[in-house]
Amino acid sequence: MSSAKAQDILVKQQEYSVKVRELLMQRYTHMPLAHVHSFGCQQNISDGEHIKGMLAQMGYGFTDSPDDADFVLYNTCAVRENAEDRVFGNVGNLVHCKRRKPDMVIALCGCMTQQEHIAQKVKKSYPHVNLVFGTHVTHTLPEMLYKTLVSHKRTFDLSDDIGFIVEGIPVHRDGNIKAWLPIMQGCDNFCTYCIVPHVRGREKSRSSRYIIEEARQLVADGYKEITLLGQNVNSYGKGLDEDINFSKLLRMINDIPGDFRIRFMTSHPKDCTRELIDTIAECDKVCNNIHLPVQCGSNRVLKEMNRHYTVEAYLELIDYAKKKIPGLTLTSDIIVGFPGETYEEFCETLELIKKVRYTNMYTFIYSPRNGTRAAKMPDPATAAEKSKWFREMLDVQAVINQELMDSKVGTVQRVLVDGIGKTGAPRLAGRSDDNTIVEFDGSSDLIGKFVNVQITKALNWAVFGEII
Ligand code: 5AD
Ligand code: SF4
């Protein structure tokens, strides 16, 4: 039933896409240009690639500069306050572009604009913005854009979750070596600090046949790395009428013939099973790096965060994974200063970091988000205290990171070459299977290929070596 509805939506949007194309041909003598910028996580970057796919179908070309654009779209992030501030800063600056080019269309979408109070703020204080839409109607961009272009009225669409995924939206990928492949949308976990379930709706998985079809096409198109995306990939398959889970999906993608590798993010520790660890260990194309955000190292705080695991269970899982997966590297997200967190509890996070030894951590000071449960909790620690704890954590991590980087000297790493290195040609750069940045000298023909590199030197952000 929902797939018939999704098909109807797709056909209707394709019709609008043709209408926009015709309108643009009448209106412009040049190829109209769009500037699309996505803030935030990989899921958002991937949404941005779908938005660009629709815009390309409507006849737009792309530009990196908003000054040259006829259509500017910011795909926003709401996960922390500073992400929102950055968007407002950028939107404010567009006033000057619009003054020079009054028929420029400015649009905002994504997690931030799904929130009513943000839409109201844009309505009131940013009159140069023409189109604002939330996360649940992205696939109707052709229709919304058509209406905006013909009516010259401001359009706001914050419609609710439609409850199913619309397949068949075109994609305009940013790269030709690595590809993002979303396997699900939304989140059901309601971690108490997090805005995502409020703005992206309930979890919905894509049917495996669409995912496999897309992965096969990516391999046929020459992509060498596929990253499967979801807010919690470990619960993939929930609600589908097929016998599937994330481990089974990984095995199916691993069975696609071709020379490519598979990554995935993000994993929730509560749903990360031993079956999944075994699958990672057994699938030759799945990389030996797991992003497994722990958020903090205190059982009391984890409970308040609604994370549904304990420090002990997490560490047991890590031990099992380290034993099963050779050369495994781990990365994490950590929040410092959750409401009510004490210094002693923060020190438990430091202890956990020392035990796990992450190669990389994405670290955040807690940022209250309107509408979440944590935003109503008492938060006695001061911003200055939280900053001090934060710096203490970075110091602990810097030592661990350097030790882990140094331990790679003398090893041979398989590297997917993805571009020119920081110091320019002939220096090339890429990532090893365990996701370390590796730089070495070589010919630019190697970009997009796998090479083996003997590591000779380590800094804190990359290792260096020679092709063998
Ligand atoms: N404050 C700080 N960090 C947050 N994150 C999510 N919500 C918040 C918040 N309110 C972090 C979590 C999550 C990552 C994507 O962003 O660590 O894993
Ligand atoms: Fe937010 Fe938790 Fe869902 Fe991740 S799992 S998106 S942190 S609610």
Nearest CA to ligand 2 atom 1: 194
In whole angstroms, give the CA distance from residue 187 to residue 79: 13
On whether the CB atoms of residues 276 and 236 are closer than 8 A, the answer is: no
Instruction: Give tens-digit pLDDT for 187-233.
Output: 999 999 999 999 999 999 999 999 999 999 999 999 999 999 999 99
Tell which phi-psi region holds residue 6, choosing left (phi > 0), alpha (psi between -120 and 50) or beta.
alpha
Span 385-390, average pLDDT:
98
3 pLDDT band, cuts 50/70/90, is confident
> Which tens digits make up the pLDDT trace of 290-302?
999 999 999 999 9
d(CA 346, CA 348): 5
Strand stretches in 167-320, DSSP E = 178-182, 184-185, 204-205, 225-229, 261-265, 289-291
Judged against a pLDDT cut of 70, whether residue 398 lies above it is answered with yes
What class is the 290-407 domain? alpha beta
Mutate which of 333, 353, 386 for ligand 1 pocket (most atoms within 8 A of beta carbon): 333
Using the mean position of ligand 2's atoms as its centre, give its distance from the Cα of residue 191 in Å. Answer: 6
Domain 412-467 architecture? Beta Barrel (2.40)
CATH 3.30.750.200 positions along the chain are: 290-407
Q: How far is the CA of 276 from the centre of ligand 1 (A)?
A: 24
Which one of the ligands is nearest to 196 CA? 2
Strand arrangement of the beta sheet that strand 261-265 belongs to: 178-182, 225-229, 261-265
Question: Ligand 1: which atom is nearest the Cα of residue 194?
Answer: 7
Residue 307 clears pLDDT 90, i.e. is over it = yes
Query: Residue 218's closest CA among 259, 265, 246, 248?
Result: 259
pLDDT at 39 over 80: yes
Closest CA to 27 of 57, 67, 58: 58
Q: What percent of the chain shows pLDDT beyond 90?
A: 98
Question: CA 244 to CA 247: how far, in whole Å?
Answer: 8
Asked if the model's pLDDT at residue 22 lies above 80, the reply is yes
Q: So what's the pLDDT on residue 152? A: 82
Mean of the per-residue pLDDT values of the chain: 96
Outline which parts of the chain fall under CATH 3.30.750.210.
Answer: 175-287
If one residue of 80, 233, 362, 376 were mutated to test the ligand 1 pocket, choosing by the most ligand atoms within 8 A of its CB, it would be 80
Confidence bin at 1 (pLDDT 50/70/90)? low
- Residue in this structure with the two tokens 């997090």, named with its chain if needed: 194
Residue whose Cα lies nearest atom 18 of ligand 1: it is 333
Vertex 348 angle, CA 378 and 392, to 5°: 85
**Span from the CA of 191 to the centroid of ligand 1 (angstroms):** 9
Determine the average pLDDT of the residues in 398-404: 97
For the chain, where do the domains classified as CATH 3.40.50.12160 start and end?
2-157
CATH of 175-287, one of 3.50.50.60, 3.40.50.9100, 3.30.750.210, 1.10.8.60: 3.30.750.210
What was the pLDDT predicted at 2? 78
Cα–Cα nearest to 467, from 317, 459, 455, 458? 455
Q: What are the beta bridge partners of residue 453?
A: 413, 467
Q: Which ligand is nearest to the CA of 292?
A: 1
**Residue 236: pLDDT over 70:** yes
In this prediction, residue 281 has a pLDDT band, given cuts at 50, 70 and 90, of very high
- Assigned fold of 2-157: Rossmann fold (3.40.50)
- Mean pLDDT confidence for 178-186: 97
pLDDT, tens digit (0-9, with 9 covering 90-100), for 68-120: 999 999 999 999 999 999 999 999 999 999 999 999 999 999 999 999 999 99
Pocket of ligand 1 (CB under 6 A): 79-80, 193-194, 293, 295, 333, 335, 364, 366-367, 369
Which ligand is nearest to the Cα of residue 370, counting in written order? 1
Query: Mean pLDDT across the stretch 348-364?
Result: 98
